[in-house]
Amino acid sequence: MDLNIELNEQEAQPVLCIRAKTPFDELPILIGESYRKIAEYMAELGEPPACAPYTAYYNLDMLDLDVEMGFPVAKPLPGKDDIKPGEVPAGKYVSCMYKGPYGMMEKTYVEIFRWMEEKGLEPAGAYYEYYYNAPNEVPDSELLTRISIPVK
């Protein structure tokens, strides 16, 4: 697998987000509903997203995932109901652009962790997936997802 894995320094990024727990099989519905709610609220505020929407994974317990769905924004914005202001923390991140079906990303994660181990890097927080398009827009083989993992 020929991946373009990179190590970059990233500034803190303000976001509007919803954090929730869910079993893996209900995740697609939760992500869709959360993005819709946040996008509608951002439209009310007249604020466009600063980048692609993301989902952050705070654990990998497939029966009880702790996830955060959000949109990066240009400046800190107020929350509303279950939509909270937050940030993707500043720091060093290992990232890689993945192209293909969501269900096939595991091999890419394995390669990223192998690369990190070779470089002496350890994960240091939630794993982020930024979604540059969606299954209702392109075939699964054309889905673009940037995987970004904070490291120490």
84-117 tens-digit pLDDT:
999 999 999 999 999 999 989 999 999 999 999 9
Indicate which CATH number applies to the domain containing 54: 3.20.80.10
Residue 35 CA to residue 33 CA, distance in Å, equals 6
For residue 22, the enclosing domain spans 6-151
136 lies in some domain: yes
* 60 Cβ contact partners less than 8 Å away, ≥ 6 residues apart: none
Say what the pTM is.
0.94
User: In the chain, how many domains are there?
Assistant: 1
Would you say residue 136 has pLDDT above 90? no
In a domain, 1, yes or no: no
Whether residue 46 is contained in a domain is answered as yes
The SS3 assignment for 103 reads: helix
What CA–CA distance (Å, rounded) separates 70 from 18? Answer: 6
pLDDT of residue 16: 98
